[in-house]
Amino acid sequence: MPETSPRTRHALAATLATSIIAGCIPTPPGGTARDPNREVPESYGGLRDTRNSGLIVWSEFFEDPHLTALIETALRNNQELNIAIQETWIANSEIVARRGEYLPRLGFGLDGGVEHVGRFTSQGQSDEANGVAATLQDYGFGLYASWEIDVWGRLHDLANAAAHRYLGSIEGRNLIVTRLVAEIASHYYELMALDRQLEVVTDNIELQENALELVNAQFQAGRATSLAMRRFEAELRDMQSSQYAIQQRIVETENQLNFLAGRFPQPIERSTLDFLALEPPEMSVGVPAQLLENRPDIRQAEHEMAAADLDVSAARAAFYPSLGIDGVIGFQSYDLTKLVTTPDSLLFGIFARIFAPILNRNGLKADYFRANSQEMMAVLHYERAVLTAVIEVSNRVSLIRNLSQGYDLKEQQVEQLTQSIEISNQLFNSGRADYLEVLTTRKESLAAQIELIEMKQRQMEATVTLYQALGGGWRRSGLEPADGSDPEAAEESEEADR
């Protein structure tokens, strides 16, 4: 049988020692985290597109120049977004700090003091026998170095985990961008809808005033009762009251947009086009698998899951022996005038240490158990983000389809009620209908017009929220972040560290 080489024996011994130590790592009470379920449906209820509207840059998705200018202002000034950008820089600083831990440390030290040795000590007896004073000054300076050699990759895992959290913070910032873009667009369309409602109410007030004058003339001529005149006037006052309520909602919506834009109250410039003439853009939803790349919340959960897995690896490596090296080179002397005398005052040394935790490992166990639980939580957060994304898109696709069909029917209702107003007026003037039929028809027509405007608003908002659900809104001119940070460079650096 051939003799085993020393190198092979050393490798086998190291492998055996590692296996023994690994066997001492406790099992978490809830078990180790499982792999995430990455399966998604092949389509949204049978609907599949080759294109995906979520990939369109927001400046191209929204064609209204007033809306795009408002979004651009918000992306510069919104306080929540700027706070998120600062959080990304904090996360980036954590990468620098973690990477510094697995590099050698070198520092310069300077010290001085006085030392008195007791006479009845071995050192005191030796100094007295050699004529050395019991009280001596002590001066020194030099370079001090220390280095924990990352044998098990624990420090690299912690640095890579910090890199993933930095990338996750960028995705968190992108998530705020998508929400901010969607909120501004939704409030903008709400503002246009309120403008249109105010026009409708104003027009109906004018018509009601004319009707009131006609009824008043008929009352003076004895052709109408005072009850009819008072009911017409009460309906007019109700319309005038709703006019002020709409004006208040316009002010509040404008201020909400100003808040999102990070500025004090001021008039909001908006399109003067007929709101009911707006057509929602055609939406393409692609396939559910694209959500894994498009949605910032899923991308953030992916990075958090990767960081948690690296934290578990680092916590496991903490049970293994650590290897460190300390070194010093400099000068030391009790006589300041001889401090730099070479080689008599020269001081140097190098030390190696190996430390393996054996007893009282409760702290390591707690860190390991906590890391495992956090990884399982990260897996569940990821799966929930994917499930939420698919359901949101499915709901909004159905909503847009149903709103489109309902809007057509509501338009027909408005048209029929508009014709009914003219008919009721003719019948009332000819004495073939009473005033209640006229008032009821006018009230129903006004309510239907307001509902038609609200339905158009819901159509526009549903398109915006579908765009957000598809992961649209965080891209500007490409995939780069809005603050100029470079997540791809961080990923490349992470791969290099591995």
Please, are residues 484 and 92 in contact by the beta-carbon 8 Å criterion? no
Q: What's residue 74's pLDDT?
A: 97
Residue ranges of the chain with per-residue pLDDT less than 70: 1-23, 477-498
Q: What's residue 93's pLDDT?
A: 95
Range 304-332 burial, b when 16+ CB lie within 10 A, else e = bbbbbbbbbbbbbbbbbebeeeebbebbe
**Whole-angstrom distance, CA of residue 419 vs CA of residue 414:** 9
Q: What's residue 18's pLDDT?
A: 52
Q: What's residue 355's pLDDT?
A: 86
Please, are residues 112 and 137 in contact by the beta-carbon 8 Å criterion? yes
**Whole-angstrom distance, CA of residue 237 vs CA of residue 229:** 13
In eight-state DSSP terms, residue 397 is: H
Q: Which domains does the chain have, with CATH numbers?
A: 32-102+150-321+362-497 (1.20.1600.10), 114-149+322-355 (2.20.200.10)
**Whole-angstrom distance, CA of residue 152 vs CA of residue 321:** 9
**Whole-angstrom distance, CA of residue 472 vs CA of residue 248:** 32
**Which of 387, 180, 382, 391 has the alpha carbon at shortest distance from 300?**
382
- Look-up: residue for tokens 């956090």? 374
Cis peptide before 481 (omega within 30 of 0): no
Q: In this predicted model, what pLDDT tens digit does every residue of 246-261 receive, in sequence order? A: 999 999 999 999 999 9
